[in-house]
């Protein structure tokens, strides 16, 4: 028996699908699991002991006839018993259409016409349900088609297998113990003011004199992060310096991850690290941390959550203060 998981992107969404992979292997331990993931995120899954093979198309494979045909040949070379579309977009629906499978499953309210490629369309999902639970619900329903019944109380798995990260000696390059700070996100509306980050970092260095702080991320914040690293002692910028595997490694060995709503937050959740997450336009009940120790810092406003990528004032993020974040760290009670 062979099962194909279709979850192409993005970083956080791929991580949040891992509990579903665990669920499948818990009940079908001898079946081969295949996964279609965009090339940019393959390192997160490469070498995973529960995945038989990865298919890794580039992000815009639909725009390239050559890449489309290449993926078509790869997918068609294998017959699957079940295909599960966790993405729910045109780019994943097309892959379902390519696959030779008896069952092709997704939610009926998946977008961009993707349900047209399914053999079985499940009842619409509740948009207020956390992404991890939504994917687990999809998995349960899909496996029923194979005669597998799974109880609702199934325990989610939060771990990422250790063999996807770099060797242990890599830790010698880091100053332990340390905090990881993730200030950047794909949406500008999710980001906090640089001045607030600097104020928080200053407070952290005073409150936790034994801790080093590593700034991680990519994009527009690189210059700022390097300036902050020069400004404060025990602060280092790793912006644009980490591979995906190295990012997982750095997060795994941290004491606390302080982050906005972004992919590294979900990696920290999967590794069950203590998290303080700053939320503005998005909803923590949908995409918040999925770990045993975490605090969400948010300000209740009539306009949030709005899920907008553009906003003139971004009050939901501006009204979060450094003291609110510092208090959240202390309230977790894990540091002296």
- What are the boundaries of each domain within the chain? 2-157, 165-331
CATH homologous superfamily, domain 2-157? Glycogen Phosphorylase B; (3.40.50.2000)
**HSE-CB for 90 with a 13 A CA cutoff:** 7
pLDDT for residue 21: 94
Does the predicted model carry a pTM greater than 0.75? Answer: yes
User: What's the CATH fold of domain 165-331?
Assistant: Rossmann fold (3.40.50)
Residues in the chain with pLDDT values less than 50: 157, 159, 161-169, 171
Q: How many Å is the maximal CA-CA distance in the chain?
A: 60
Q: Looking at residue 292, what is its pLDDT? A: 87
Strand order in the sheet with 100-107: 53-55, 32-36, 2-6, 79-85, 100-107, 120-122
- The contacts of residue 98 (CB under 8 Å, 6+ apart) are 71, 72, 75, 76
What pLDDT sits at residue 174? 82
User: Same CATH topology for 2-157 and 165-331?
Assistant: yes
Q: What is the pLDDT of residue 170?
A: 52
CA separation for the pair 246, 93 (Å, rounded): 32
């Amino acid at each position: 028996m062979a099962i194909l998981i279709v979850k192409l992107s993005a970083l956080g969404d791929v991580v949040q699908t891992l509990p579903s992979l665990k669920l499948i292997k818990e009940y079908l331990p001898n079946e081969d699991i295949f996964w279609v993931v965009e090339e940019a995120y393959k390192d997160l899954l490469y070498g995973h002991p529960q995945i038989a093979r990865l298919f890794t198309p580039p992000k815009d494979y639909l725009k390239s006839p050559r890449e489309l045909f290449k993926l078509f040949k790869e997918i068609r070379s294998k017959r699957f018993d079940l295909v599960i579309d966790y993405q729910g977009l045109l780019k994943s629906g097309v892959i379902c259409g390519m696959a030779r499978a008896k069952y092709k499953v997704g939610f009926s309210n998946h977008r961009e016409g993707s349900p047209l490629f399914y053999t079985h369309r499940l009842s619409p999902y509740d948009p207020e349900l956390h992404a991890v639970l939504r994917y687990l619900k999809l998995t349960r329903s899909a496996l029923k088609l194979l005669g597998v019944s799974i109880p609702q109380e199934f325990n989610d798995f939060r771990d990422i297998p250790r063999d996807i990260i770099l060797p242990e000696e890599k830790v010698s390059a880091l100053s332990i113990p340390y905090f990881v700070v993730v200030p950047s996100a794909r949406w500008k509306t999710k980001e906090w003011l640089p001045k607030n980050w600097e104020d928080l970092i200053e407070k952290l260095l005073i409150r936790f004199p034994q801790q080093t702080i590593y700034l991680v991320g990519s994009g527009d914040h690189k210059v700022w992060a390097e300036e902050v690293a020069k400004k404060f002692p025990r602060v280092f910028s790793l912006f644009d310096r980490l591979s995906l595997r190295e990012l997982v490694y750095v997060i795994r060995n941290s004491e606390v991850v302080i982050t906005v709503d972004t992919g590294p937050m979900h990696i920290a959740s999967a590794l069950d690290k203590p998290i303080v997450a700053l939320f503005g336009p998005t909803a923590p009940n949908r995409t918040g941390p999925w770990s045993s120790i975490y605090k969400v810092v948010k300000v209740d406003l009539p306009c949030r959550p709005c899920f907008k990528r553009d906003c003139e004032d971004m009050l939901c993020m501006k009204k979060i203060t450094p003291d609110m974040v510092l208090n959240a760290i202390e309230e977790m009670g894990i540091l002296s």
